[in-house]
Amino acid sequence: MRIATALLAAWLAAGSAAAQPSQPSAAPLDEIAAKLARDAEIAEQDRRSEALNVELNRRNAEIAARNDAAQKAYDAALADYARAKAAYEAGLAQHEAQAAEYRRAYGHWQAQVAACKAGDFRRCAPKAVSGPGSP
């Protein structure tokens, strides 16, 4: 058993010595250089992306300010319209009331004229008195 253990240990030692190269290869250096180049490119992309984000945020703030101003102007115009509409509707209601009163008075006058023509002279309009200067 000691011989098997010794042979196994020798075999493992020979395998690990063979696995380690005697000279450093260029592959790890190329990988490090490629990683550094990728990292630099990503850093540059991040910088440009951040600059674009700052510009977009500035433009969005300008647009939001214009939109806010336009909304305030619209709200003011809408309030003016509501006031003008209320004034119009009040005037219209007054006109309709006056028209109703006119129609009532005109109907009463027509009834008076009809009664006068029918012989109810009490409902006739008084005759104008002719004076010295009247024709």
The per-residue pLDDT for range 69-104, each reduced to its tens digit, is 999 999 999 999 999 999 999 999 999 999 999 999
DSSP state of 129: P
- Confidence class of residue 20 from pLDDT cuts 50, 70 and 90? low
Query: Pick the residue with more confidence: 58 or 133?
Result: 58
Band of pLDDT at residue 111, cut at 50, 70 and 90: very high
For residues 125 and 116, is the Cβ–Cβ distance under 8 A? yes
118 SS3 class: coil
CA 45/CA 54 separation, integer angstroms: 14
Pair 112, 123: CB distance under 8 Å? yes
Place of tokens 């991040």: 46
Q: Domains of the chain: which residue ranges?
A: 27-119
Residues 6+ apart with CB under 8 A from 110: none
| H helices present in 20-130, as ranges | 26-117
Say which range, 14-18, 35-39, 130-134, has the weakest mean pLDDT: 14-18
C-alpha 134/C-alpha 129 separation (Å) is 9
Does residue 116 contact residue 123 with C-beta atoms inside 8 Å? yes
Phi, psi angles (nearest 5°) of residue 55: -65, -45
pLDDT digits (tens, 9 = 90+) for 26-75: 678 889 999 999 999 999 999 999 999 999 999 999 999 999 999 999 99
Per the listing, tokens 């109907």 go with: 107
Q: Which two tokens stand for residue 96?
A: 């309709």
Cβ count within 10 A of residue 128? 7
Identify the pLDDT of residue 78. Answer: 98
